Structure 1
Amino acid sequence: MEIKNRRNFLKKAALAPLCLSFGTNSWPIIPDSTNEVAPNATSKIKLSLNAWSYNVPLYKHINGESGGMSLFDLLEECAKLDFDAVDPTGYFFPGYPEVPKTKFVNDFKRRAFQLGLDISGTGIRNDFANSNKEERHADIELAKRWIEAAAEMGAPVLRVFAGQRPEGYSWDDTAVWMADALGECAAHGEKFGVLIGVQNHGGMLKSADEVLKVLDMVSSDWLGAIVDTGYFLTDDPYSDIARVIPKAVNWQVKSLLSDRRGGPIDLQKLVAIIRASHYRGYLPIEALPILGKEEEFDAYTQVPELLGKLRKALR
């Protein structure tokens, strides 16, 4: 499947004059007359695992502690749970923030292929809202190196953050240099066939309005949204999710809403929104601990539970 064609289709899906209603809420799909219609298309979803779900055992492995999980162990776990794909976050590769060695990437790709797993994306830590120009430039260069690493490992999307609005600067002022950074990354991504997905993760991007405004400022076919279902910090996160889907290049479907304070996600409602949008692509999931109960969280039980609930909702 051509990533660019899929992304263009997501834009085209907005042509249908559709309004979703759940209870008293409704979310219109806004038409875009500049795109052609793809006839008879339906939603197609492939389930992926975001590696952060297992961050505790993954970090234990990196630190040489007992009870750890390597990225290769993660592949085995994904195969056991019958995921379609895996999203291996960059933090868990040896030597991060440096890019992994070619041999490691090739061995990882080979094992994923043997287990029938796609690589749906990867991600880095960065702060494009940083007011320090030199530090912001360093993060752009980091993203560029990982764009090339993503291409090498066959990951179609590199996930990046926007960053926190610095004290003393307005949202609009910060958005200008943030958009410049995203645009530079998108241009580099185009050279290597890797989409840049900016994730709403608090800070500068807490709502659909903010996400869509930044994407419009860049206006690149190689930049889209990572729809983080757990970080729309608004009164109605489902409305924000529905509005951003036409720009989605990947997801983080989290077990909890609103920065873990909004309770469990309603997967039936989420799936209905996704189906109606005609989204086609990966849905990486991320199981999270409830705030204050981190020590009770066990990824080996929570991930299969979230996956099972999502599969049930999809049926």
Structure 2
Amino acid sequence: MKITFFSVLMILSISFSSAQNKGKQKDIILSVNAYSFADLLTAREPRDKQQVFSYFNLLDWCATQNIKALDATAYFFPTYPEVPSDEYLEKFKNHAKKLGIAISGTGVRNNFASPDPKIREEGVKLTKSWIVAAAKIGAPVVRVFDGAIPKGYEDKWEEPAQWMIACYKECAEFGAQYGVKVGIQNHGEMLQTAAQCKYILEKVNSKWVGLILDTGNFKTADPYKDIAEMVPFAINWQVKESVFGIGSPIRTDFKKLMKIIIEGGYKGYLPVETLLVRGESYDPFSKVPAMLKEMEEASKALK
């Protein structure tokens, strides 16, 4: 990468801004993950293919609900997988700032466990382009996936794990140049347990990489135990309605979860993600505020 005088100034500016934000961000800040509104954000007008419901609409709604932060998943920007123009990103950033809403993160779709090196390379390239975008909109972290266990590697987990590690390292080195961290989400594929997450993070061994702690994707008998183990590694979250996965009738015990988070010493953004369950009615405009209220009340009860 060619380093110019302008890029040096940009990096210094981002680093200074990040330092200021870290100094101010001393508490847990509830956030909402845009994926809760996935169907709306992907809907298009039949005539001109424009978004029916855009990030600007979502930011306006968040402001009416007094929601302080939004995790703006990359694939709901209108040009994804391409990064929008600087003009669009600036407009988005300024609109969020005007409403007093922080951008708690963004994220891409990738498969770093694929046996095909071209697919992994495409994922790294995509992640890098959105790291640059994240810096421009003030997002501190870009979320990346693990990838499904490749067919034929069910008993050879460590081999695709090495491919993942190499990709995460490359992305982390690039993220460091822009002051943006890479967040690895335990997506219930290659990463299903706390032990697997620790293995990857320890091998990557970078302060620019951490865990996007997905509370609904530990495939173990007691997910709360895995969550507690991984709190020290968390740099962001996806808090789900059930720790036992999508569609489970057993709802998350939010008082228990918040106790784990607080006692684990986590400080920072805590995004929630409600999800559509097949066969059930789904309204994110009621589900998201209800879940945020449960978490807020659980947090207050512990003080």
Q: Provide TM-score, normalisation by structure 2.
A: 0.87
SS in 2 for 1:164: coil
Q: Which residue of 2 aligns with 1:156?
A: 140
Structure 1 position 56 matched with structure 2 position 42: no
Identity of aligned residues (%): 42
| 1:202 shift after superposition | 1.1
SS in 2 for 1:254: coil
Q: Which residue of 1 aligns with 2:157?
A: 171
Structure 1 position 311 matched with structure 2 position 301: no
Gaps of 5+ in 2: 1-15
Find the aligned partners of 1:66 and 1:293 in 2 and give their Cα distance: 28
Structure 1 position 201 matched with structure 2 position 216: no
SS in 1 for 2:235: strand
Q: Provide TM-score, normalisation by structure 1.
A: 0.84
Find the aligned partners of 2:75 and 2:50 in 1 and give their Cα distance: 19
Q: Which residue of 1 aligns with 2:12?
A: none
SS in 2 for 1:121: strand
Find the aligned partners of 2:19 and 2:211 in 1 and give their Cα distance: 14
Q: Which residue of 2 aligns with 1:97?
A: 81
| 1:135 shift after superposition | 1.4
Shift in CA distance, 108/67, structure 1 to aligned 2, threshold 3 Å: closer
Q: Which moved more, 1:42-51 or 1:249-258?
A: 42-51
| 1:201 shift after superposition | 0.7
Question: What does 1:31-180 align with in structure 2 at a 5 Å threshold?
Answer: 44-61=27-44, 68-169=52-153, 170-180=156-166
Shift in CA distance, 6/167, structure 1 to aligned 2, threshold 3 Å: farther
Q: Which residue of 2 aligns with 1:19?
A: none
- Counterpart code for 1:274: I
1:194-239 Cα shifts (integer Å, max 9, x gaps): 0000000111001111111100111011000000011111111111
Q: Which residue of 1 aligns with 2:167?
A: 181
2:236 corresponds, among 250, 267, 272, to 250
- Counterpart code for 1:54: F
Shift in CA distance, 153/2, structure 1 to aligned 2, threshold 3 Å: closer
Contact 1:4 1:221 in 2 (8 A): no
Find the aligned partners of 2:21 and 2:64 in 1 and give their Cα distance: 28
Find the aligned partners of 1:223 and 1:179 in 2 and give their Cα distance: 11
Structure 1 position 278 matched with structure 2 position 262: no
Find the aligned partners of 2:32 and 2:52 in 1 and give their Cα distance: 18
Find the aligned partners of 2:283 and 2:263 in 1 and give their Cα distance: 33
Find the aligned partners of 1:93 and 1:144 in 2 and give their Cα distance: 16
Find the aligned partners of 1:4 and 1:132 in 2 and give their Cα distance: 39
Contact 1:43 1:277 in 2 (8 A): no
Question: For the aligned residues, what is the CA RMSD?
Answer: 2.3
Find the aligned partners of 1:69 and 1:264 in 2 and give their Cα distance: 29
Gaps of 5+ in 1: 8-41
SS in 2 for 1:162: coil
- Counterpart code for 1:231: N
Question: What does 1:6-17 align with in structure 2 at a 5 Å threshold?
Answer: none
Q: Which residue of 2 aligns with 1:297?
A: 282
1:182-203 Cα shifts (integer Å, max 9, x gaps): 0100000001100000000111
Q: Which moved more, 1:87-96 or 1:256-265?
A: 256-265
Find the aligned partners of 2:191 and 2:166 in 1 and give their Cα distance: 16
Shift in CA distance, 221/101, structure 1 to aligned 2, threshold 3 Å: same
Find the aligned partners of 1:112 and 1:282 in 2 and give their Cα distance: 16
| 1:68 shift after superposition | 3.2
Question: What does 1:195-234 align with in structure 2 at a 5 Å threshold?
Answer: 195-234=181-220
